[in-house]
Chain A
């Protein structure tokens, strides 16, 4: 099938098998390997990308479903060549260890604070509960998202 998908601002047209998963389209066809695969069953969330701004687990979403939509992967988080507040916060607050869940966590965090600019700790914990991390105990992920929310609010008020 023919699809046309905008990924990180660039439009891509491709002919794909109907069964091709979005994550394989992103990784194998577009060579964007920052989106990972961890469980194949929509459980761990390391394959999360934003589809029209909404987090979607791309291991159980067909590439053809993304036809005509706009996708953001971790490679699209930088803004005008600079790290986004979420990326800066993960680095500053030790929000990652092995790095495997990190792209997805940052994307979910980005969507979360776009929706709720001043989330409580509980709201963050609930908001990222579709994404697993085995390294951090989530402590510094939560802290990073809080910090990114604060920076973003400050940026918006200036």
Chain B
């Protein structure tokens, strides 16, 4: 673990920013007292199991539920036809499309929800769900977006009026004419076509709900695996027509999210409807297979990038064209205006005047989702493309990839920097981070070894990625989900004894908010972090917020926390002046106390002030020390860094092993260095997973390959490489505490570094690309083909 670069301003007792405070959450988890959705048991609780489509595309001719209904212990079998009577057979997606809750007309992907059984016991529910008989008439399954867009392809979404093809959306960004002009003058144009395969976040806890609708009062309490409980409450109000004040969403401990728990899934809706009709609580928890085949996939982008470069090795322009596979329903979780998320961050860490990105999305007979798997809305795909392209461009023009990056980096004095696709990068020192990583890994020594190794028939490769990420959406004017502006909130109540409770609109899934957000309060208000309880995930008990994804908790809710702490400190100062019988202007602040300038003995602590706020407030001031802040960020934040990977590739088998993995991250000011490093470790492991083994594919009939952990490979401790971390700190100038967010940088930045390293080892054979996952068989096949 590296030490933090800045000395904390507060004492360890206060535990503000920069302290590696041990986690508050751990006390319950290490004793097995975490409280996840599946741990909830309510009196009279029933269990739900879902019957799913075995085929990818077929008309439903008939559904026979009699066998299931006859099973002892079954209370109800729900079909789409039944839901349609309540206008619940379809629901809106977070992208403004519609999605079938239970299929009525036809099934559109393997694993689609067709019917649900409610029973007294999970085993009985599962048994009965298997007895449901559905007669299908097969239709042509469309398993690629290329086929979907052919003229004679059958229409998947024949439910949508006015839709005449499987084209789901088109979107573009940048200046096409300027790009064409730049390309016409280029000394060299370097192109890369690559496919970023479908992946699944696969948190170890699957998705689930316990729906408890009180038929007498109409109160619906929904315990859900939700990364965005407030937004989900609003969606439920809109879908089910329930009054929003009667919906309480409780998101208890979450066993990992990574984007998977952002959308609303059909199972949530069916369980809620069933509880409403039956009048008893209903639990539904996915099996792993259900999780992998039906909920929030990620990626699935076919990308073609072209870089125009001049004779001196300067980038002139970037052109990108993409085709995305959206599955059967456009259910991406991303801001309304941006159909391909924030993909236009694809211009990367480099300074050039022109870029143009065009993209089309197609409906296919695959599961919907399009979640940002541990990244900020398609940023992973974008970062991968530019960092792979830059390495290939450097090779083609005969420059070292590091020097090519250096030549084209946006320089520190150019910030705030407006990219050709319209982002305004807040701050960055790209060269510094890259040089640190190169020094840590011994870049030039390894390049030398690579050349020597080739002479003895060994293959060594070194690859890097110098990524820039965009996180922390809003600003609300540009960024919304279903019209809900992407602000976030914090409510802080300081109690008379000086202890405090902080309530947030976001929801941790393992990031340690209970620990880190208390540190922000400690920094700003001088109340020890251990005296601040952090509460999230209960919509009856926390202020409205858009939730935790896209690394937005620290950039947005963290800013709200700092702002409300400062507001209370301003009020505390008035109370302190009253207590000290001094003028407010004469008071000075050090963490935890106010004192009269020039007379440090004349002081009051924040705890004294808190007590006085309730027992002895100034006559002209409202009592209490509480407040709420809704923070709409003026801009997003732009974390960056350089990752360098060294690999040894076996020339005979194509197997590759990571010898070194150096990661230098700059996420601005670090609240808790221990937790930041933990986030980076996890992200690097997931980046390694995607680059080496983890992907979901389909056979030609639309069968999902990757429907369990024997087929969908997740690296264990044995395969996962060792990581060496470094840091630079470039604060965000617009964030109240200078923090940028870090949960996703490593997943965004690292896949290109791993792949670049493998390609570097074999490029002398004439290989410039292997699509992910770069498995040993693919490497071997590429080498064999190169020989022939």
The listed residue (B30, B511, B512, B686) touching A102 by CB distance below 8 A is: B30
Shortest Cβ distance from B202 into A: residue: A134
The listed residue (B122, B256, B287) touching A135 by CB distance below 8 A is: B256
Q: Is A71 in contact with chain B by the CB < 8 A criterion? A: no
What are the residues of chain B within 8 A of A106 when measuring CB–CB?
30
Q: Is B517 in contact with chain A by the CB < 8 A criterion? A: no
* Interface residues in B580-618 (C-beta closer than 8 Å to A): none
What are the residues of chain B within 8 A of A125 when measuring CB–CB?
716-718, 720
Q: Is B38 in contact with chain A by the CB < 8 A criterion? A: yes
Given contacts A43-B710, A87-B31, A135-B256, contact A142 B203 (CB under 8 A): no
What are the residues of chain A within 8 A of B241 when measuring CB–CB?
none
What are the residues of chain A within 8 A of B41 when measuring CB–CB?
31
Task: Mark each residue of chain B from 651 to 693: 1 if its CB lies under 8 Å from any CB of chain A, else 0.
Answer: 0000000000000000000000011011001111110000000
Given contacts A100-B256, A138-B716, 5 further A-B contacts (CB under 8 A): A39-B288, A92-B22, A134-B256, A138-B681, A138-B685
Interface pair B38/A37, CB less than 8 Å apart: yes
Interface pair A74/B31, CB less than 8 Å apart: yes
Question: CB within 8 Å of B: which residues of A?
Answer: 17, 19-20, 24, 27, 31-41, 43-44, 46, 73-75, 77-78, 83, 87, 90-92, 94, 96-103, 106, 124-126, 128-142
A98–B289 CA distance with the chains assembled, in angstroms: 21
* Interface residues in B509-532 (C-beta closer than 8 Å to A): 509-512
Interface pair A137/B205, CB less than 8 Å apart: no
Interface pair A100/B30, CB less than 8 Å apart: no
The listed residue (B206, B512, B686, B720) touching A38 by CB distance below 8 A is: B206
Expressed in whole angstroms, the minimum distance between the Cβ of B210 and any Cβ of chain A is 13
Shortest Cβ distance from A142 into B: residue: B717
Expressed in whole angstroms, the minimum distance between the Cβ of A104 and any Cβ of chain B is 10
Shortest Cβ distance from A32 into B: residue: B32
Interface pair A38/B685, CB less than 8 Å apart: no
Interface centre among B287, B509, B681, B723 (most CB of A within 10 A): B681
Given contacts A44-B709, A132-B204, A132-B716, contact A102 B29 (CB under 8 A): yes
Expressed in whole angstroms, the minimum distance between the Cβ of A19 and any Cβ of chain B is 7
The 9 closest A-B pairs by CB, nearest first: A34-B32, A98-B510, A100-B255, A99-B29, A43-B709, A137-B685, A74-B32, A137-B681, A97-B510
What are the residues of chain B within 8 A of A126 when measuring CB–CB?
717-718
Interface pair A40/B288, CB less than 8 Å apart: yes
What are the residues of chain A within 8 A of B718 when measuring CB–CB?
125-126, 129
Expressed in whole angstroms, the minimum distance between the Cβ of A129 and any Cβ of chain B is 4
Q: Is B406 in contact with chain A by the CB < 8 A criterion? A: no
Q: Is B149 in contact with chain A by the CB < 8 A criterion? A: no
A98–B743 CA distance with the chains assembled, in angstroms: 13
Instruction: Determine chain A's interface SS by DSSP, over half rule.
Output: loop
Interface centre among B22, B674, B718 (most CB of A within 10 A): B718
Q: Is B708 in contact with chain A by the CB < 8 A criterion? A: yes
Task: Mark each residue of chain B from 22 to 43: 1 if its CB lies under 8 Å from any CB of chain A, else 0.
Answer: 1101111111111110110100
A137–B28 CA distance with the chains assembled, in angstroms: 21
What are the residues of chain B within 8 A of A130 when measuring CB–CB?
716
Q: Is B714 in contact with chain A by the CB < 8 A criterion? A: yes
The listed residue (B31, B206, B256) touching A78 by CB distance below 8 A is: B31
The listed residue (A38, A44, A92, A135) touching B510 by CB distance below 8 A is: A135
Interface pair A83/B30, CB less than 8 Å apart: yes
Expressed in whole angstroms, the minimum distance between the Cβ of B3 and any Cβ of chain A is 15
Shortest Cβ distance from A105 into B: residue: B717
Expressed in whole angstroms, the minimum distance between the Cβ of B124 and any Cβ of chain A is 11
What are the residues of chain B within 8 A of A139 when measuring CB–CB?
678, 681, 722-723
Expressed in whole angstroms, the minimum distance between the Cβ of A25 and any Cβ of chain B is 12
A98–B706 CA distance with the chains assembled, in angstroms: 24
- 26 A/B residue pairs, CB under 8 Å, sorted by A: A24-B122, A27-B39, A34-B31, A34-B32, A36-B36, A36-B204, A38-B288, A43-B288, A43-B708, A44-B709, A73-B32, A74-B31, A91-B26, A94-B22, A94-B677, A94-B678, A97-B682, A98-B204, A99-B255, A100-B204, A101-B204, A128-B717, A137-B681, A137-B682, A138-B685, A138-B720
Q: Is B118 in contact with chain A by the CB < 8 A criterion? A: no
What are the residues of chain B within 8 A of A97 when measuring CB–CB?
256, 510-512, 678, 682
Interface pair B709/A41, CB less than 8 Å apart: yes
Shortest Cβ distance from B714 into A: residue: A132
The listed residue (B26, B36, B205) touching A90 by CB distance below 8 A is: B26
A24–B34 CA distance with the chains assembled, in angstroms: 17
The listed residue (A20, A44, A87, A135) touching B682 by CB distance below 8 A is: A135
Interface pair A33/B678, CB less than 8 Å apart: no
Shortest Cβ distance from B30 into A: residue: A87
Interface pair A94/B674, CB less than 8 Å apart: yes
What are the residues of chain A within 8 A of B681 when measuring CB–CB?
136-140
Q: Is B297 in contact with chain A by the CB < 8 A criterion? A: no
Expressed in whole angstroms, the minimum distance between the Cβ of A92 and any Cβ of chain B is 7
What are the residues of chain A within 8 A of B534 when measuring CB–CB?
none
The listed residue (A91, A132, A138) touching B30 by CB distance below 8 A is: A91
What are the residues of chain B within 8 A of A91 when measuring CB–CB?
22-23, 26-27, 30
Q: Is B402 in contact with chain A by the CB < 8 A criterion? A: no
* Interface residues in B217-263 (C-beta closer than 8 Å to A): 253-256, 258
Expressed in whole angstroms, the minimum distance between the Cβ of B366 and any Cβ of chain A is 22
A100–B288 CA distance with the chains assembled, in angstroms: 14
Q: Is B169 in contact with chain A by the CB < 8 A criterion? A: no
What are the residues of chain B within 8 A of A19 when measuring CB–CB?
123
Interface pair A98/B288, CB less than 8 Å apart: no
* Interface residues in B698-733 (C-beta closer than 8 Å to A): 708-710, 714, 716-718, 720, 722-723
Shortest Cβ distance from A91 into B: residue: B26
What are the residues of chain A within 8 A of B684 when measuring CB–CB?
137
Interface pair A100/B720, CB less than 8 Å apart: no
Interface pair A99/B510, CB less than 8 Å apart: yes
A98–B287 CA distance with the chains assembled, in angstroms: 19
A139–B123 CA distance with the chains assembled, in angstroms: 38
A36–B203 CA distance with the chains assembled, in angstroms: 13
Given contacts A75-B32, A98-B205, A103-B32, contact A41 B255 (CB under 8 A): no
Given contacts A132-B709, A138-B717, contact A46 B204 (CB under 8 A): yes
Expressed in whole angstroms, the minimum distance between the Cβ of A53 and any Cβ of chain B is 18
A88–B203 CA distance with the chains assembled, in angstroms: 25
Interface pair A98/B678, CB less than 8 Å apart: no
Interface pair A137/B708, CB less than 8 Å apart: no
What are the residues of chain B within 8 A of A131 when measuring CB–CB?
716-717
A97–B682 CA distance with the chains assembled, in angstroms: 9
Interface centre among B32, B123, B289, B510 (most CB of A within 10 A): B32
Interface pair B708/A33, CB less than 8 Å apart: no
Interface pair A140/B678, CB less than 8 Å apart: yes
A124–B685 CA distance with the chains assembled, in angstroms: 17
What are the residues of chain A within 8 A of B683 when measuring CB–CB?
137
Expressed in whole angstroms, the minimum distance between the Cβ of A17 and any Cβ of chain B is 8
What are the residues of chain A within 8 A of B709 when measuring CB–CB?
39, 41, 43-44, 132
Shortest Cβ distance from B509 into A: residue: A98
What are the residues of chain A within 8 A of B23 when measuring CB–CB?
91, 94, 96
What are the residues of chain A within 8 A of B510 when measuring CB–CB?
97-99, 135
Interface pair B717/A100, CB less than 8 Å apart: no
A46–B686 CA distance with the chains assembled, in angstroms: 18
Expressed in whole angstroms, the minimum distance between the Cβ of A156 and any Cβ of chain B is 22
A94–B33 CA distance with the chains assembled, in angstroms: 17
What are the residues of chain B within 8 A of A32 when measuring CB–CB?
32
A96–B723 CA distance with the chains assembled, in angstroms: 17
Interface pair A99/B34, CB less than 8 Å apart: yes
What are the residues of chain A within 8 A of B34 when measuring CB–CB?
34, 99-100
Shortest Cβ distance from A20 into B: residue: B123
Interface centre among B25, B29, B122 (most CB of A within 10 A): B29
Expressed in whole angstroms, the minimum distance between the Cβ of B698 and any Cβ of chain A is 20
A32–B678 CA distance with the chains assembled, in angstroms: 28
Shortest Cβ distance from A37 into B: residue: B38
Expressed in whole angstroms, the minimum distance between the Cβ of B45 and any Cβ of chain A is 11
Interface pair A129/B29, CB less than 8 Å apart: no
Interface pair B686/A134, CB less than 8 Å apart: yes
Interface pair A133/B22, CB less than 8 Å apart: no
Expressed in whole angstroms, the minimum distance between the Cβ of B663 and any Cβ of chain A is 10
